[in-house]
Homo-oligomer: A and B are copies of this chain.
Amino acid sequence: MVDVAIIGAGQTKYGNHQLGMKGMWAEAAVNAFDSVDKDFQPNQIDEAYIGSVAFGGGQLGNTAALLTEHTGMQGKPVRRVENACASSGFALRDAWMAIKSGQADVVIAGGIEKMNDLTPERKRFWLGVSGDTEWERLAGLTFPGTYALMARRYFHEFDSTHDDLVNISVKNHYHGLDNEVAHIRKDVSFDKAKNGFMVADPLTLYDCCPTSDGASCVILAADHVVSQFTEDPVWIKSSAAASDYLALHDRPSITQLMATQKAAKRAYSMAGISAEDVDIAEVHDCFTIAELFATEDLGFTERGTGGHFARENRGRRNEGTTCINPSGGLKSKGHPLGATGTGQTVEIFKQLRNEVESTRQVRDANIGLSHNVGGSGATCSIHVYGRDRD
């Protein structure tokens, strides 16, 4: 079976963009093309997968064709993949399978979202529909409210308080401080994060990711063509995904994401590693409680000990055991829904190749992981990356 490598990766800065959908996509795509070490032409791409949720606030259609035609991929098979906030994590998975299938040698996977030209009501709508509509959204539950319920229950079941979430927020802002593509670059103190504006009790503004615009993309290649493009690829050692009940009330427990646990088990098994082998992980911290869950569900710490992991700073860059969210995560780097999944891959690609800003480079990182979640855990994709092919 063919192995799959990443030969290039690029993105826009995340934030409040003046650029529209086509402009943002072009910037991310050209950055990815330019990152390929040897000569690369976009018409060498055989197939394209683009993740997006709100496709320009719902004003543009047929977006995959629209976005690829003016970035040199005219005529290629293209499609949009939508899975709420896990859209480009699944675009990456499907791109990986396209190469595995033998039908394509070079494939692009990307994601894009334009949120900041929407009215506040439309922003809330596009976030809200990622969770359950019939039992949650239409009953008035907001997306922060959903995660607030999960946090409250977690504090009830385990030895943890909001202070642990504050620690996660402080760490992610610290990690993102020097990240040139991050949306929120602020040195945030424990006191400031602890006493932030209340959004959905117990989650304050500092527990919630911002609403970002942005685009990201990665270029994948089959093992037999990799050396045409680079001598320094990052290999995708595994791809796994799973789903869960959309509405919280259908799940046996709301203090863990079963989709993450299932996908992680498969991803580690396929890559031939265990959680301890992971040096850096970009995890889906749409809210700080989501990162706490992820550290448990991905096996970096035992169930019920995510609070300890956070308060002992075990996820901190070059200090802890596994660096969690070296980019700053969704909290600091930002969360342009459909762009987030492949944006995580861009960070892992650059970290493993020692190409990020020197002040935030993780030392001796060989194995990376990305973890992209849709809704409140209804869908999840996980990828494991390595410097070595085997």
Contacts and interface: CB of A to CB of B under 8 A. Distances in A.
Nearest to A48: B243
A83 B79 contact: yes
Interface stretch (A59-67, A294-302, A345-353): A59-67
B101 A97 contact: yes
Count chain B CB atoms within 10 A of each CB in A239, A245, A250 and give the residue with the most.
Answer: A245
Contacts of A144: none
A84 B61 contact: yes
Interface stretch (A128-136, A204-212, A316-324): A128-136
Interface string A356-380: 0000000000000000001100110
Contact of A242 (B77, B241, B245, B262): B77
Q: Which of A58, A65, A74, A81 has the most CB of B within 10 A?
A: A65
Interface residues of A, number: 60
Contacts of A90: 77, 79
Given A83-B62, A83-B64, A243 B77 contact: yes
Contacts of A131: 61-62
A116 to B, nearest CB: 19
A364 B246 CA distance: 46
A246 B381 contact: no
Interface string A114-153: 0000000000001011111100000000000000000000
Nearest to A134: B60
- Most B Cβ at <10 Å: residue of A53, A250, A379, A381: A379
Given A69-B243, A81-B81, A82-B82, A258 B62 contact: no
Contacts of A87: 79
Output the residue of A240, A243, A374 with the most chain B CB within 10 A: A243
A245 B73 CA distance: 10
A369 B184 CA distance: 52
A375 B62 contact: yes
B81 A79 contact: yes
Contact of A75 (B73, B97, B133, B262): B262
B62 A374 contact: yes
A1 B65 CA distance: 29
Interface in A237-277: 239-246, 250, 258-259, 262-263
Contacts of A240: 77
Given A68-B243, A94-B94, 6 more contacts: A59-B133, A61-B131, A62-B374, A65-B246, A66-B132, A77-B241
Interface of A: 1, 53, 58-66, 68-69, 73-84, 87, 90, 93-94, 97-98, 100-103, 126, 128-133, 239-246, 250, 258-259, 262-263, 374-375, 378-379, 381
19 contacts: A58-B129, A60-B129, A62-B132, A62-B378, A62-B379, A64-B82, A64-B243, A65-B83, A65-B244, A65-B245, A75-B243, A75-B262, A77-B240, A78-B83, A79-B90, A94-B94, A97-B98, A100-B100, A100-B101
